[in-house]
Chain A
Amino acid sequence: MEAPIRAREALGFILFSLLFSICRSSSLNHLLISNAERRIDLSSHIVKVYLTLKVENAGSTPTSEVFLSFPPTQVDHLATVEALVTKGKRKKTTLVRLDVKPTELPDAPNDAKYFAIYLANPLKSGESTTLEVLYLLTHSQEPFPAEIAQSESQLVYYRDSVLILSPYHIKQQTTFIKTPSTKVESFTRVEPSNRAGTEIKYGPYEDHPPYSFSPILIHFENNSPFAVVEELVREVEISHWGNLQVTEQYTLVHAGARHKGVFSRVDFQSRPTLNGASSLRYLLARLPPRVHSVYYRDEIGNISSSHLRTDSRKSELEIEPRYPLFGGWKATFVIGYGLPLQDFLFETSDDRRYLNFTFGCPLLETVVDKLTIKVVLPEGSKDPSAVVPFPVEQHLETKYSYLDVVGRTVVVMEKKNLVPTHNSHFQVYYTFKPIFMLAEPLMLASAFFLFFVACVAYLHIDLSIRK
C-alpha cells in the first residue's frame, strides 16, 4: 500500500510544479467533474470500460472540448474511444455520438495522452452535461503465472488506477470492476472497497485533484480464450459481373498463459471442463447474409471442421482450428466467400459507384493486432477514394488478376489494434465505365479468332520445298 501513496505524492509534486502552466491552458481549469462512475468489464480478454462523467463548467467562458487523459501504458492498448451525450430532459433522452480525437496538450505530466471530446453545443458557464464514454483496452490482462499446464486454469493480472486519471478535478468517483468468475486471487484494497460476487466496488472517493493516481492490481481467473489475430488481410474483390469475393487471411494466436509441458489428448477428450479450460476450441464468424461459396482452408488444404448457418439477416460460420489452441499456440487459415454485389455496391447521384462494406474482423470477441483491407476495384476504374469512420493508413496498389492488361487498382487500408466495435461500414468511391467489363471477353474472343485464322492460313499454305 505504500507504493501507491508514494506515487500519489510524486504525482502531486509534479502537479504542483506544473500548476502555472496548466493554469495558462484555458479550457482545462474551469471544467470540473462533479460525478464520475466507471465500470470496468474484465469478463473477456478485451477490457471494456464504461465511464459516466458529469461535467460542469465552473469557469466563465463556454467551452466545447472535454479532455480525457490516459497513462501512456494504457494508450498503447487503447483500441477505441467513443463518447455519447445524453440529450433531452428526463423522459425523452436520446444519445448523441460525439467526435473523439486524440490530441496533444502542451504540458502533459508524465507523458499522459489525451483524447478530446468535441461537444455538439458548447458548454456554457455554470451548465453541466453528462457524457457516456466507452473505451476498450486490448492486451491489458497479463497472465500470471505466465505458463500453465493443461489442467490448470488461467489467472491474469489487471492493472489500473483506482482514481480516474483526469485533467479535471473530480468531486466524486466510483469504480466497479466486473470479473469473469468469482475466483479472485487478490485485489488491491483502497478503502472504501468491497467485493461481492463477481463485482469489486471501489469508492466512492471524494474530491481528488487533477491527475490523481492510485494503482491497483487485480489477480483473477479468466478462462475465456484470448483469441488474438496477429495479422488479418482482407481482400475484397469487386466484379461487375455481380460478385463480391472476400478473402481473409488470418494468423491466429492464443495470447493467454503459455501452454507448458504435455498436451494429453485423452485428458482433453475425457474431461473437457477441467482440462484446457482456457483453450480456444472454436471461433464464430459473423458474415453478411446471402453469403455463398464459403471456404475455410489453410496452406495445406481444406479444413473440414466448420459449420455455416444462414438466415435472412446474417450468416454465422462456426470454425474450428485444426487443433485446439492452447496458450501461445498459433494457427493460420483463410476464409473466403462470395457475396451478391447488389447488396454492397451502390451508385451515387453523380455517376460514381461506391462499395459499402464492414471494416473490422468478422470473428467475434477477437482482437486484431494489424488489419489490412484491400479493396480490389475492377480493371479500368478511376479516382478511388475511401471514407472510413476512423483514421487509417491508406495507399494504392496495382494488382494483376485474370488476363489483366493495365492492372486493377487496389485501395489498401491499414489499421492496428482493432476490436469488434470497429466493425462499422466504410465506403470506397470510384468511377467505372461498363464498357471495360467486355474487355476481357473480347480479348479472349479475338485471341481465339486469330488462332483459328492462323490455323486456316497454315493449312492453305504449302510450305514444302519440293513440288
Chain B
Amino acid sequence: MAAPETSTAAVPTLYTNNTLRNAFGGVLSFFILLLIGVMAFSIRLFSVIKYESVIHEFDPYFNYRVTQFLAKNGIYEFWNWFDDRTWYPLGRVIGGTVYPGLTLTAGTIWWLLNSLNIPLSVETVCVFTAPIFSAFASWATYLLTKEVKGTGAGLTAAALLAMVPSYISRSVAGSYDNEAVAIFALIFTFYLYIKTLNTGSLFYATLNSISYFYMVCSWGGYTFIINLIPMHVLLCIVTGRFSSRLFIAYAPLVVLGTLLAALVPVVGFNAVMTSEHFASFLVFIIIHVVAFVYFIKGILSPKMFKVAVTLVVSVGLAVCCAVIAVLIALVASSPTKGWSGRSLSLLDPTYASKYIPIIASVSEHQPPTWPSYFMDINVLAFLVPAGIIACFLPLSDASSFVVLYIATSVYFSGVMVRLMLVLAPAACITSGIALSQAFDVFTGSIKFQLSGASSNTEVDAAETSSSTAESQTDAVKTEKPEETAKNRPSRKSKKKEREHGEKPSTKAKAEKKRLLALPLESSVISLLLLVLLGAFYVVHCVWAAAEAYSAPSIVLTSRSHDGLHVFDDFREAYAWLRHNTDVDDKVASWWDYGYQTTAMANRTVIVDNNTWNNTHIATVGTAMSSPERAAWEIFHSLDVKYVLVVFGGLVGYPSDDINKFLWMVRIGGGVFPHIKEPDYLRDGQYRIDSQATPTMLNCLMYKLSYYRFVETDGKGFDRVRQTEIGKKYFKLTHFEEAFTTHHWMVRIYKLKPPKNRIRGKTKKSKSKTSSTTSSPKRSGTKKKNPWQ
C-alpha cells in the first residue's frame, strides 16, 4: 500500500525503461485508487446486505423527504417550500432553513439517472449517496495527502480513510445525512487550498471557492473551514512564510467564498454578520496589510522603509482600535455574542449543559469517552503523533496545514462526539503520512542493506525512486517559486526544466540516506509489525462496519436460540398512522420521532428533530410531564389527535421515552417553571418503581407507557429499568389506546373528544388547581406559557 510508487513527475530521467516504469507506476496507482474507491463503497453496504436498503435513523428521513419533494416538484418549488406538516401550528420554511447540498446532489443524481432511462427510485439513490461520496472522499484524501507528502502517503491515507470507522458510522448505505457529502466537500476544499498554495494558480483558487460553496451548501460544519484556513494563513504569516501564493490561496477564497456562501438561503447574511466568520475577515485585512508591507519593502530603501513603518503603525493602530471597538460593540449587542449555541458549546464545552438542555440532550453532542476514540479511529490514534512528527520533517506550507488541522480537530472532537467525524480525515492523513514514511525508511534500508555493498549507483536509483524522499528535498527549497510547480500533473514541458536541477541534490542525499539506513533485521521486523498493525486496523474496521454501525435503528434485531428475531415496531406504527388516520390529523410525540413521523407516516407533527423552537418543544415536554388532564388541555389546544410514545419495557429497548423523560422534564421546566425536576426524582434518583414520586407516577408519560402493561405478565416488570413498575392498575380518562405495536415498542393514544371533559370532570379540576386550568385554552395557541 505504501509502496514507493513514483509519481510521473518525480523522476527525472530520459531512459525509456524509466518512463515505462513511471507509466506503470501511474497506472498502478490509478488502479489502487479505483480499488480504494470500490472498497470505500462496498464496506458501507453491510447495512443493505444485513438489513435492507432503507433510510436510517432520524435526520436522514427528513433529507429523504426533502429529496422526494425536490424530485417531484422541481427546484423552484423546493426553494419556496413551506412545510405545514411539521411544527404545527407554526410550520417550517424548508427551502430557507435547510442545507440544500445533500438534497440537490441526490436530486441531481436521480434526475440524471432518470433522464438516461435508469428508473431508480429516489430512495435507492438516497441510500447509496453516502457510499458513493465516501469513495469520492477517499480520492480527495489521496489528492490532499499527495499535495502534502507525495503519492505513497496519498494512497495510504486514502486507503485508511476509505475504512475509518468514524466516517463509516456516518456514511453507511442508508445514512443519508449531510455529513455524507460534507466530508468529501471538506477534504476537497482543503485539497484545493493546498493545491493553490503549492501552485499559486488562480484557477485552483477559483475552484477552491466553488468547492467551499458546495461545502457551505452541505453542512453547517463549513465554519470549520472558514476558521481553519485563516488560522493557517495567520500561522504562515507569523512564521514568515508569507508569499504571493498564500495571498492567491486566501484572498479569492474569502471574497468569492463569502459571496457564494451568502447565496445559500440558510446562511444568507450570516456569512458576514456572525462571529463565526469574523476571523476570516480579520485575517483578510491582515494579509492585505502584510502584502502591502512586503510590496513597500520591495520598492523602498531600508531606511525609508523604517520611517514608513513607524508612520503606518501609529496611524494603523488608531484605526484598528476604532474598528475593533466598533466590532466589539456590535458583537456585544447581540445576546449570544454573535455566536450560535452549537458554536458556543464548542468553544466552552460546559456551555450547553448549563444553558441549553436541548443541545445537551442529544447524545451526539456529548463529549466522547476514551474508548470511543479507540472505537472510531482505532490504531490511527497511535499513528497520528508519528505523522505530526513526519510533517515537521521538513515543515512546508502544506504540512503545517495538516498539523494545524489535526490539532484543531482533536480539540473539537473532544468537545462533541459528533465532530469525531472531522478528526477522522485529519487522523487518516497524518497516519497515512506516518505509515508511508515508515515504509519508505524500512524498505529503503532493506534495499540498501541488500544491495548496499555492491555499488553506489544502485543506491542512487533506489533513492530517486522514492517520491517522498524527493519531496523532502524539494520541500527544503519551497521558498523558490519555480520549485513549487513540482507537484503539478505531468506535462512534458515542465519535466524537462527540472531534469537539470535534480542531479546534485540526489548525490548529497545518497550520502545522507546511507547514514539513516537501519539494520536489515530490525527493519524487516518493523515492517512486519507495521503490516500487522494495518491488518489489525482492517479487521477492526470491517467489524465496526458490519456489526457496530450498520443497524438502521428503525429495525431492530436480536439473536436468540430460536433464530433471528426482528422488531419492526416503528414502521408498524408509522404504517398504521399512515393508512388509518385522517390525512390532517396531528400527532404529538417527543421530538426524536418527528422526522420519521412526517416521512413515514405522512402526518403533521408538533415538534421534530430540527429543534429550532425551544418553547414549542418545552410545551410538548410539559405536556408529557403533566398529569393527564393538564396534558390533555395542552394537546387539545395544539389540535393534537394522537399521542405517540415509545416504550421499551416489554422487550428491553433501552432508548425509549421513559429513559428520555428527564430531558423532557428539564426542557419543559426550562420554559415553564411549574415543572420542577426534583418532583420527579426520589432522593436525586430517577425511578419508576414503587419508590417513585407521585408526580412521576401520575405524569402522562408514565401513564401512556405503562397503561395495561401489568396485564402482560401479571407483575408489570420493566425489562429496561429491571424493576417492577410503581403504579400498576390505573385508567385513562382523557386518552384512549388507539394502537399498540406487536412488541409494544410504539404506543399510540387518541385524545378523547372534549365532550367528556365537560361532564363530571369540572369539579375535580377546580378543586385541584384553581387558576391554572382556567385560561390555558386561549393562550395555548399563542404558546408563551399557558401556566403562568
Q: Please tell me which stretch of B219-227, B437-445, B461-469, B733-741 contacts chain A, meaning at least 4 of its Cβ atoms lie within 8 angstroms of it.
A: B733-741
Question: For window 725-744 of chain B, which residues contact chain A by CB distance below 8 Å?
Answer: 736-742, 744
Alpha-carbon distance between A91 and B708 when the two chains are bound, in angstroms:
66
Are A467 and B493 neighbours in the complex by a CB distance under 8 Å?
yes
B117 surroundings in chain A (CB, below 8 A): 400-405
Nearest chain B residue, comparing its CB with the CB of A332: B579
Q: Which of A323, A405, A464 contacts B575 (CB 8 A)?
A: A323
Question: For window 269-313 of chain A, which residues contact chain B by CB distance below 8 Å?
Answer: 269-270, 298, 300-305
Decide yes or no: A266 and B119 within 8 Å by CB, A298-B575, A322-B568, A467-B493 being known contacts. Answer: no
Nearest chain A residue, comparing its CB with the CB of B118: A402
Residue B334 is within 8 A (CB to CB) of chain A in the complex: no
Sample 20 A-B pairs with CB under 8 A, ordered by A number.
Answer: A263-B740, A265-B737, A265-B744, A269-B712, A270-B711, A298-B575, A300-B54, A301-B555, A303-B568, A322-B568, A323-B739, A323-B741, A328-B580, A329-B576, A330-B579, A331-B575, A331-B579, A332-B579, A401-B119, A402-B119
Nearest chain B residue, comparing its CB with the CB of A403: B117
Residue A393 is within 8 A (CB to CB) of chain B in the complex: no
Are A261 and B736 neighbours in the complex by a CB distance under 8 Å?
yes
A262 surroundings in chain B (CB, below 8 A): 736-738
Residue A25 is within 8 A (CB to CB) of chain B in the complex: no
Question: For window 696-712 of chain B, which residues contact chain A by CB distance below 8 Å?
Answer: 708, 711-712
Alpha-carbon distance between A304 and B742 when the two chains are bound, in angstroms:
13
Nearest chain A residue, comparing its CB with the CB of B61: A300
Size of A's binding interface in residues, CB under 8 A: 32
Query: Chain A's nearest CB lies how many Å from the CB of B6?
Result: 18
B600 surroundings in chain A (CB, below 8 A): 300
B575 surroundings in chain A (CB, below 8 A): 298, 300, 322-323, 331
Q: Inter-chain contact count A-B, CB under 8 Å?
A: 80
Map CB proximity to A onto B435-475 as digits: 1 under 8 Å, 0 otherwise.
Answer: 00000000000000000000000000000000000000000
Map CB proximity to B onto A402-439 as digits: 1 under 8 Å, 0 otherwise.
Answer: 11110000000000000000000000000000000000
Are A322 and B576 neighbours in the complex by a CB distance under 8 Å?
yes
Alpha-carbon distance between A420 and B577 when the two chains are bound, in angstroms:
30
Nearest chain B residue, comparing its CB with the CB of A467: B493
Query: Chain B's nearest CB lies how many Å from the CB of A448?
Result: 14
B736 surroundings in chain A (CB, below 8 A): 261-262
Decide yes or no: A302 and B491 within 8 Å by CB, A264-B737, A265-B744, A322-B568 being known contacts. Answer: no
Nearest chain A residue, comparing its CB with the CB of B600: A300
Query: Chain A's nearest CB lies how many Å from the CB of B589?
Result: 17
Residue among A270, A302, A323, A400 with most chain B CB within 10 A? A323
Are A263 and B737 neighbours in the complex by a CB distance under 8 Å?
yes
Decide yes or no: A301 and B119 within 8 Å by CB, A323-B576, A329-B580 being known contacts. Answer: no
Nearest chain B residue, comparing its CB with the CB of A402: B118
Residue A462 is within 8 A (CB to CB) of chain B in the complex: yes
Nearest chain B residue, comparing its CB with the CB of A265: B740
Map CB proximity to A onto B590-632 as digits: 1 under 8 Å, 0 otherwise.
Answer: 0000000000100000000000000000000000000000000
Q: Which residues of A contact B (CB under 8 A)?
A: 261-266, 269-270, 298, 300-305, 322-323, 328-332, 400-405, 462, 464, 466-467
Alpha-carbon distance between A202 and B493 when the two chains are bound, in angstroms:
106
Alpha-carbon distance between A289 and B119 when the two chains are bound, in angstroms:
29
Are A265 and B741 neighbours in the complex by a CB distance under 8 Å?
yes
Residue B508 is within 8 A (CB to CB) of chain A in the complex: no
B739 surroundings in chain A (CB, below 8 A): 263, 265, 323
Decide yes or no: A266 and B708 within 8 Å by CB, A302-B52, A302-B54, A323-B575 being known contacts. Answer: yes
Alpha-carbon distance between A322 and B572 when the two chains are bound, in angstroms:
5
User: Given A264-B740, A304-B568, list of 10 further CB < 8 A pairs?
Assistant: A265-B744, A266-B711, A300-B578, A322-B568, A323-B739, A323-B742, A331-B575, A400-B119, A402-B117, A403-B116
A331 surroundings in chain B (CB, below 8 A): 575, 579
A467 surroundings in chain B (CB, below 8 A): 493
Query: Chain A's nearest CB lies how many Å from the CB of B422?
Result: 31
Q: Which of A270, A301, A401, A464 contacts B571 (CB 8 A)?
A: A301
Question: 10 smallest A-B Cβ distances: which pairs?
Answer: A265-B740, A330-B579, A301-B54, A304-B566, A400-B117, A302-B52, A322-B572, A322-B575, A262-B737, A300-B600
Q: Which residues of B contact A (CB under 8 A)?
A: 52, 54, 116-119, 491-493, 554-555, 566, 568, 571-572, 574-576, 578-580, 600, 708, 711-712, 736-742, 744
Are B572 and A323 neighbours in the complex by a CB distance under 8 Å?
yes
Alpha-carbon distance between A329 and B575 when the two chains are bound, in angstroms:
11
Query: Chain A's nearest CB lies how many Å from the CB of B750?
Result: 8
Alpha-carbon distance between A139 and B578 when the two chains are bound, in angstroms:
25
Query: Chain A's nearest CB lies how many Å from the CB of B556?
Result: 11
Alpha-carbon distance between A305 and B555 when the two chains are bound, in angstroms:
13
Alpha-carbon distance between A264 and B580 when the two chains are bound, in angstroms:
16
Alpha-carbon distance between A269 and B711 when the two chains are bound, in angstroms:
11
Query: Chain B's nearest CB lies how many Å from the CB of A251?
Result: 9
Residue among A265, A331, A405 with most chain B CB within 10 A? A265
Residue among B54, B117, B575 with most chain A CB within 10 A? B575
Are A301 and B572 neighbours in the complex by a CB distance under 8 Å?
no
Alpha-carbon distance between A263 and B712 when the two chains are bound, in angstroms:
15
A266 surroundings in chain B (CB, below 8 A): 708, 711-712, 740
A400 surroundings in chain B (CB, below 8 A): 117, 119
A265 surroundings in chain B (CB, below 8 A): 737, 739-742, 744
Alpha-carbon distance between A325 and B741 when the two chains are bound, in angstroms:
12
Decide yes or no: A330 and B580 within 8 Å by CB, A322-B575, A404-B117 being known contacts. Answer: yes
B493 surroundings in chain A (CB, below 8 A): 464, 466-467
Are A300 and B571 neighbours in the complex by a CB distance under 8 Å?
yes
Alpha-carbon distance between A375 and B54 when the two chains are bound, in angstroms:
28
Residue among A262, A300, A402 with most chain B CB within 10 A? A300
B568 surroundings in chain A (CB, below 8 A): 303-305, 322
Alpha-carbon distance between A403 and B119 when the two chains are bound, in angstroms:
9
B492 surroundings in chain A (CB, below 8 A): 462
B741 surroundings in chain A (CB, below 8 A): 265, 323
Are A464 and B119 neighbours in the complex by a CB distance under 8 Å?
no
B555 surroundings in chain A (CB, below 8 A): 301, 304
A466 surroundings in chain B (CB, below 8 A): 493
Alpha-carbon distance between A305 and B569 when the two chains are bound, in angstroms:
12
Alpha-carbon distance between A400 and B708 when the two chains are bound, in angstroms:
53
Alpha-carbon distance between A329 and B54 when the two chains are bound, in angstroms:
25
Query: Chain A's nearest CB lies how many Å from the CB of B72?
Result: 14
Alpha-carbon distance between A323 and B574 when the two chains are bound, in angstroms:
10
A301 surroundings in chain B (CB, below 8 A): 52, 54, 554-555, 571
Query: Chain B's nearest CB lies how many Å from the CB of A375?
Result: 17
A261 surroundings in chain B (CB, below 8 A): 736
Alpha-carbon distance between A332 and B580 when the two chains are bound, in angstroms:
11
Nearest chain A residue, comparing its CB with the CB of B54: A301
Residue among B54, B116, B574, B739 with most chain A CB within 10 A? B739
A305 surroundings in chain B (CB, below 8 A): 568
Query: Chain B's nearest CB lies how many Å from the CB of A452?
Result: 13
Nearest chain A residue, comparing its CB with the CB of B737: A262
Alpha-carbon distance between A402 and B579 when the two chains are bound, in angstroms:
32
A264 surroundings in chain B (CB, below 8 A): 708, 737, 740
Query: Chain B's nearest CB lies how many Å from the CB of A233?
Result: 16
Alpha-carbon distance between A160 and B493 when the two chains are bound, in angstroms:
97
Alpha-carbon distance between A302 and B744 when the two chains are bound, in angstroms:
20
Alpha-carbon distance between A302 and B127 when the two chains are bound, in angstroms:
14
B572 surroundings in chain A (CB, below 8 A): 322-323
A302 surroundings in chain B (CB, below 8 A): 52, 54
A329 surroundings in chain B (CB, below 8 A): 576, 579-580
Alpha-carbon distance between A405 and B600 when the two chains are bound, in angstroms:
35
Alpha-carbon distance between A466 and B491 when the two chains are bound, in angstroms:
11
Alpha-carbon distance between A298 and B574 when the two chains are bound, in angstroms:
12
B52 surroundings in chain A (CB, below 8 A): 301-302
Alpha-carbon distance between A19 and B385 when the two chains are bound, in angstroms:
108
Alpha-carbon distance between A304 and B20 when the two chains are bound, in angstroms:
56
Query: Chain B's nearest CB lies how many Å from the CB of A397?
Result: 14
B578 surroundings in chain A (CB, below 8 A): 300
Alpha-carbon distance between A402 and B113 when the two chains are bound, in angstroms:
9
Alpha-carbon distance between A464 and B201 when the two chains are bound, in angstroms:
15
